[in-house]
């Protein structure tokens, strides 16, 4: 008989996957169709995904879950993506990479998002492979 140390079970996501070396991505968006399609694509790439349906929930999960990357919608109930970004900046000196997705066409909004430190700004509708490339690039850079 081989003597073994007790083995601690690895932390698992709700899907049961071990998350030791898996990047955790927080999606903050109120559009159910976008959330589900982005979640499906990210989980298909092996990422762990956490979902928030509004800006307040997004902030709470960002603090509790310590994601490696945030995908953030600009226009949401309770707290806009801009207000979420402003609060994230005040909460931590070292900002998690943020990819902002928006249906807004205004260049002033993009400039303000960049001023707040958005890593990538993607307009809706977007190609899923464009988002996945942006996710991979941001995680590789951080």
Q: How far apart, in Å, are the Cα atoms of 142 and each of 3, 52, 76, 98, 99?
A: 40, 22, 27, 11, 13
Kindly report the pTM of this predicted structure: 0.84
Asked if the model's pLDDT at residue 99 lies above 70, the reply is yes
45 membership: H or E segment, kind and range: none
Percent of the chain with pLDDT over 70: 86
Predicted confidence at residue 20, as pLDDT, reads 62
CATH superfamily name and code, 24-141? Response regulator (3.40.50.2300)
Predicted confidence at residue 13, as pLDDT, reads 40
Q: What does the angle CA 49 – CA 51 – CA 52 come to, to the nearest 5 degrees?
A: 155
Predicted confidence at residue 94, as pLDDT, reads 81
Domain boundaries defined on the chain: 24-141
pLDDT tens sequence across 1-44: 434 333 322 333 444 444 568 999 999 999 999 999 999 999 99
């Amino acid at each position: 008989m081989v003597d073994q140390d007790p083995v601690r079970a690895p932390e698992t996501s709700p899907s049961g996957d071990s998350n030791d070396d898996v990047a955790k991505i927080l999606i903050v968006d109120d559009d159910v169709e976008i959330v589900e399609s982005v979640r499906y694509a990210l989980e298909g790439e092996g990422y762990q995904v956490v979902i928030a349906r509004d800006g307040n929930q997004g902030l709470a999960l960002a603090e509790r879950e310590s994601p490696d990357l945030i995908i953030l919608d600009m226009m949401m109930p309770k707290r806009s993506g801009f207000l979420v970004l402003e609060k994230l900046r005040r909460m931590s000196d070292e900002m998690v990479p943020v990819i902002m997705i928006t249906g807004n066409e205004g260049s002033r909004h993009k400039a303000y998002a960049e001023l707040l430190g958005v890593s990538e700004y993607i307009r809706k509708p977007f190609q899923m492979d464009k988002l996945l490339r942006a996710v991979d690039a941001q995680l590789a850079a951080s």
